Amino acid sequence: MTIIVTGGAGFIGSNFVFHMLNKYPDYRIVCLDCLTYAGNLSTLAPVMDNPNFRFVKESITDREAVYKLFEEEHPDMVVNFAAESHVDRSIENPEIFLDTNIKGTAVLMDACRKYGIKRYHQVSTDEVYGDLPLDRPDLFFTEETPIHTSSPYSSSKAAADLLVLAYHRTYGLPVSISRCSNNYGPYHFPEKLIPLMIANALNDKPLPVYGEGLNVRDWLYVEDHCRAIDLIIHKGRVGEVYNVGGHNEMKNIDIVKIICKELGKPESLITHVTDRKGHDMRYAIDPTKIHNELGWLPETKFEDGIKKTIKWYLDNKEWWETIISGEYQNYYEKMYANR
């Protein structure tokens, strides 16, 4: 079995590469990643010498490079993690999101059509459903919830999802889609809420909470997401969408307070800053389908997952300090100065 994993030098993709190489010693995993600001080759250092692993530095939008890779590897499956993934960056500059997230998905699926594939899996997001009101805790996203996006990022992911379903109906491509809630864990890029707050707290820097911090996200430990995708590509039905989430809704402000407590830092570091434009209020996944059909359940409780995550950032300072000392400085200043 040969699987092309795109975006495998990023947060969830790298965790998925590790999961697959550990669990399936006879699988070949080929990581296709063009190493944007969010991709780190150092993340993949532990598997670089594994004979079942190959890293290829190319973009999913480069048709020629993608076709060449298919000719070389004859993949059985493609799991597409590669994307521009940060909502705030999409608000600043939508264009690259359209190119990578929509065109890149089409190029990968064209290659699958041309060379044949057992499964094309699209890693999507709960953000395609828009948001839920805070005063209706009885409402959850199901796979039937209409697509109703808020940001350029989520719109580009929704467009990609629709293309994937269209390639299934029109060309009979054997596809599946997972729509997961917010992940956290090792190798999470420090522009995102949890790693940003950990890094800033460790450096005694202000903790910038957007607005009042009452927005709710449904947090899932990254390994639980990887297990869900593993199940879907092997046992999930072709042409289907599976929501992935662990009923772990938390307000942003509460997450930041937990991080302060775990690190022994004062809550006075918390600074309320201007809210995100079009900020989604609440995400909440109903995971009944993946539970009933594939027996998936999250295994890591948030209390344990956040401790493990904080410990990982304490033990791997070099990884994130290198990131935040480079180009990221300019990004941070632009995004947070005078906010």
Strand 77-80 relative to strand 53-56: parallel, antiparallel, unpaired? unpaired
Q: Give me the least distance between CB of 171 and ligand DAU, in Å please.
A: 27
Active site residue 143: no
Contact mark string toward ligand DAU, 303..332, x via CB under 6 A: ------------------------------
- Binding window for ligand NAD (CB under 6 A); candidates: 132-140, 182-190, 229-237, 302-310: 182-190
Gap between the terminal Cα atoms of the chain: 49
Task: In whole angstroms, give the CA distance from residue 185 to residue 51.
Answer: 26
What is the distance of C-alpha 173 from the center of its chain? 23
Q: Which one of ligand NAD, ligand DAU, none is in contact with 196 (Cβ closer than 5 to 8 A by kind)?
A: ligand DAU
Question: Is the distance from CB of 34 to CB of 110 less than 8 angstroms?
Answer: no
- Binding window for ligand NAD (CB under 6 A); candidates: 8-16, 46-54, 66-74, 326-334: 8-16
Report if residue 59 touches ligand DAU, rule: CB under 6 A.
Answer: no
Task: In whole angstroms, give the CA distance from residue 74 to residue 93.
Answer: 35
Question: Is the distance from CB of 138 to CB of 123 less than 8 angstroms?
Answer: no
From the list 84, 126, 224, 249, the catalytic residue is: 126
From the list 129, 153, 187, 313, the catalytic residue is: 153
Contact mark string toward ligand DAU, 84..123, x via CB under 6 A: -xxx------------------------------------
What is the distance of C-alpha 105 from the center of its chain? 15
Report if residue 60 touches ligand NAD, rule: CB under 6 A.
Answer: yes
Q: Which of 3, 4, 5, 10 binds ligand NAD (CB under 6 A)?
A: 10
Report if residue 82 touches ligand NAD, rule: CB under 6 A.
Answer: yes
Report if residue 39 touches ligand NAD, rule: CB under 6 A.
Answer: yes
Active site residue 153: yes
Query: Kind and range of the H or E element at 270?
Result: strand 270-273
Q: Give me the least distance between CB of 26 and ligand NAD, in Å please.
A: 26
Which of 230, 289, 241 lies closest to 77, judged by CA?
A: 230
Task: In whole angstroms, give the CA distance from residue 332 to residue 324.
Answer: 9
Q: Give me the least distance between CB of 339 and ligand DAU, in Å please.
A: 9
Report if residue 179 touches ligand DAU, rule: CB under 6 A.
Answer: no
Which of 74, 84, 245 lies closest to 159, judged by CA?
A: 84
DSSP-derived letter for residue 129 is: G
Q: Scan for tokens 């430990």, then name that residue.
A: 221
Report if residue 283 touches ligand DAU, rule: CB under 6 A.
Answer: yes
Q: Give me the least distance between CB of 125 and ligand DAU, in Å please.
A: 3
Q: Give me the least distance between CB of 18 and ligand NAD, in Å please.
A: 13
Strand 77-80 relative to strand 2-6: parallel, antiparallel, unpaired? parallel
Phi, psi of 79 (to 5 degrees): -115, 115
Report if residue 121 touches ligand NAD, rule: CB under 6 A.
Answer: no
Could you write out the DSSP letters of every residue in 204-267? T--EEEETTS--EEE-EEHHHHHHHHHHHHHHSPTTEEEEE--S-EEEHHHHHHHHHHHHT--G
Q: Which of 4, 56, 100, 186 binds ligand NAD (CB under 6 A)?
A: 100
Q: Which one of ligand DAU, ligand NAD, none is in contact with 81 (Cβ closer than 5 to 8 A by kind)?
A: ligand NAD
Report if residue 21 touches ligand NAD, rule: CB under 6 A.
Answer: no
DSSP-derived letter for residue 147 is: P
Positions that interact with ligand NAD (CB under 6 A): 6-7, 9-13, 32-36, 38-39, 59-61, 81-83, 85, 100, 104, 123, 125, 157, 180, 182-183, 189
Positions that interact with ligand DAU (CB under 6 A): 85-87, 125-127, 181-182, 192-193, 196, 208-210, 215, 217, 252, 276, 283
Which residues are tagged catalytic? 126-127, 153
